[in-house]
Structure 1
């Protein structure tokens, strides 16, 4: 799940709008997402398969700091990962912070990253637990397992009650139009967790089916179901993968965690392709970040997600920088998931800022490179902007553009042919700031100058009123 695209082929997305400037006191632009569906995400992953891969970083507990490792990746690479991974939690303190997690998921989606949720779920018969003893090494007896997958038993009811506890949080994301890459019961072909290591019709795959059926029945329509195995030697290795597959009707993405080999052997790559039957495949957990040559050798992976502390313990800064800056890799601000069912007709009108002035195309000129400036509002076409669903701002048939795809403070803005580049993408924040994700900087009137003809620029985020803008509805 609002992500921004660096090439026009896949352009579409969400930008946000604000109350009309005609209101007596227009409010800053409010966060509002162009709704995307699971199918939108799946189709996009299929589109990039073979040519591009989305970068990702997982943020494990504590849930009170749900983007710690994502921020760490940015500090090392200068890039925000294109996928944010979160954990639904198993300790009581983390379960109590699930709302913090969901709030962060909304922020990451708004900033242009897909949202992924993993769940280390405690055994159904305990409310909260530690990892060791409650998840790892807590295998159910065969009799307990039979009860678990039998409708109406106490163990089965306890499991469904556990699912009920996360429904309100997943529902919040659905209400916000945010698809979730949900990866429950992960690494199910290995037996370290209580849900895993049971092949066959009534094994681990059956619990995955029960999980999806139950959450589907709750009316959750925003889940991309990610099924996951590990590159283990147990249970037949790569040849045993089909014995854990729940079926095409239950799986949207097939994923692998290559912990044994660090980078999956071709046998595992082929096993995932074979079982996926044309669905996207991904590397749901990695320790060492894939190198560009590795990604090129197995081009069908649609994303990789570095596991939390392994970001620094298994990778040098230079290795991370090389991969995150590789042309194959899509980071935040470099791709768009098309939205379907968003706000409908794009909003068109004036964009106002400091001093009540309007964003204006100098002289109404349509030549590429024409400066974009502040001017007295006059209702002309040079001040009539369309807030498009692909995160562009358009006037006179062209796009608001950061000159030369610049990323430094003070880079001026201009009008240019719409081309799908990151220099033409803008996302709004709840306080009215307009962010260019490619540069990480914001639409700015230099020094708060309100003189007619003041050319607009990008600049580091600040709280000055000359970075607050009011969009049309």
Structure 2
């Protein structure tokens, strides 16, 4: 691909798939499109039990990440009925108030049929294929079934939490059904078509029934055969866990993501282990829109990323930290929205 053609891949029109997208989503998408190809937003996933990651980053670098990663894991009904308590909605509201951007994934505990055999397949691991016998293909094939109705119940519960964010004016980079093609999560265990059906069902129910017009839909299926179509995807995400202390640009996976569709979409590094080296990304042209380092030892120890690289990453001219973000409440709306 020529340099001109490659540069063109970073010129994304700030148009969202939801024709009723609200101004908060439009402003965030406009900013992401404006920055794409020239800057990469820093990001960090918080932990499930404790959340020391962003404070540790600040301690080491004097900066906070631009994007905070959150998870509706403990809001899944099959977890709350067993005593789990979701906390991330309130944490995300606070993060937005402090000037950060919010992204959410959902380690969706299967609605029913949990194996519940600890330690490896206890109910708390019910999002893994090994920990449930829930059959998504059978559920999607029978809208009158209990399984299908429980899928709707769960979607409705999470929609209620996303509505709290909407009502507070918070746009959300929404990344459900992640890593589906890997098969290790139940939503990918029965192949591409049931998962695509579930993606479309979720989109239509969340936008149509629940009026969640603050969502920017980040698809993270990681294989072309699982792509639900351009009309259902705003942004493409890749999750990449390079070997320890390997700071590559991840160019092959960036190129892979570009091949999922002929449409020009933003490409993000939606999960990572070791940090990618900004100089390598610039040299290779692997200009991810943002990264989101996973929680735990990926930042709190030097096993995966040395702290010198952490400091370099957060001070690099190519990366954007929270203090460098514009006021997204007043960011100019795209001319053609």
TM-score, scaled relative to structure 2? 0.78
Check 1:298–1:229 CA distance in 2 against 1; reply closer, same or farther (3 A cut).
Answer: farther
Q: What does 1:145-294 align with in structure 2 at a 5 Å threshold?
A: 145-200=137-192, 202-216=193-207, 217-230=209-222, 241-259=223-241, 263=248, 265-275=250-260, 277-294=263-280
Cα deviation for residue 315 of structure 1 reads 1.3
Q: 1:108 aligns with which of 95, 111, 120?
A: 95
Whether the aligned pair in 2 keeps the contact of 1:40 and 1:337 (CA below 8 Å) is no
Which structure has the highest helix share of the two? 2
In the alignment, which residue of structure 2 is the partner of 1:312?
300
User: Take 1:185 and 1:156, find their aligned partners in 2: how far apart are those partners?
Assistant: 16
Cα deviation for residue 96 of structure 1 reads 4.9
Check 1:116–1:308 CA distance in 2 against 1; reply closer, same or farther (3 A cut).
Answer: same
Cα deviation for residue 81 of structure 1 reads 0.5
Cα deviation for residue 198 of structure 1 reads 4.7
Q: What does 1:369-384 align with in structure 2 at a 5 Å threshold?
A: none
Aligned residues: 291
Cα deviation for residue 197 of structure 1 reads 4.9
Q: CA RMSD in A?
A: 2.6
Q: What does 1:64-463 align with in structure 2 at a 5 Å threshold?
A: 65=50, 67-90=51-74, 91-92=79-80, 96-98=84-86, 100-125=87-112, 130-132=123-125, 134-138=127-131, 140=133, 144-200=136-192, 202-216=193-207, 217-230=209-222, 241-259=223-241, 263=248, 265-275=250-260, 277-296=263-282, 297-309=284-296, 310-313=298-301, 314-336=304-326, 338-339=328-329, 389=330
Check 1:157–1:189 CA distance in 2 against 1; reply closer, same or farther (3 A cut).
Answer: same
In the alignment, which residue of structure 2 is the partner of 1:359?
none
- Once structures 1 and 2 are overlaid, which stretch shifts more, 263-272 or 304-313? 263-272
Cα deviation for residue 106 of structure 1 reads 1.4
Which structure has the highest strand share of the two? 1
User: Take 1:94 and 1:78, find their aligned partners in 2: how far apart are those partners?
Assistant: 39
Unmatched 5+ stretches in structure 1: 1-34, 231-240, 340-388, 391-473
Whether the aligned pair in 2 keeps the contact of 1:226 and 1:251 (CA below 8 Å) is yes
- After superposition, the C-alpha distances for 1:362-390 in whole angstroms (9 at most, x for unaligned) are xxxxxxxxxxxxxxxxxxxxxxxxxxx47
- After superposition, the C-alpha distances for 1:172-230 in whole angstroms (9 at most, x for unaligned) are 11011101111111101101111115544x23222211111111121111111111145
Check 1:106–1:70 CA distance in 2 against 1; reply closer, same or farther (3 A cut).
Answer: same
User: Take 2:299 and 2:268, find their aligned partners in 1: how far apart are those partners?
Assistant: 18
| Paired residue secondary structure (2:130) | coil
Check 1:254–1:272 CA distance in 2 against 1; reply closer, same or farther (3 A cut).
Answer: same
User: Take 2:287 and 2:278, find their aligned partners in 1: how far apart are those partners?
Assistant: 13
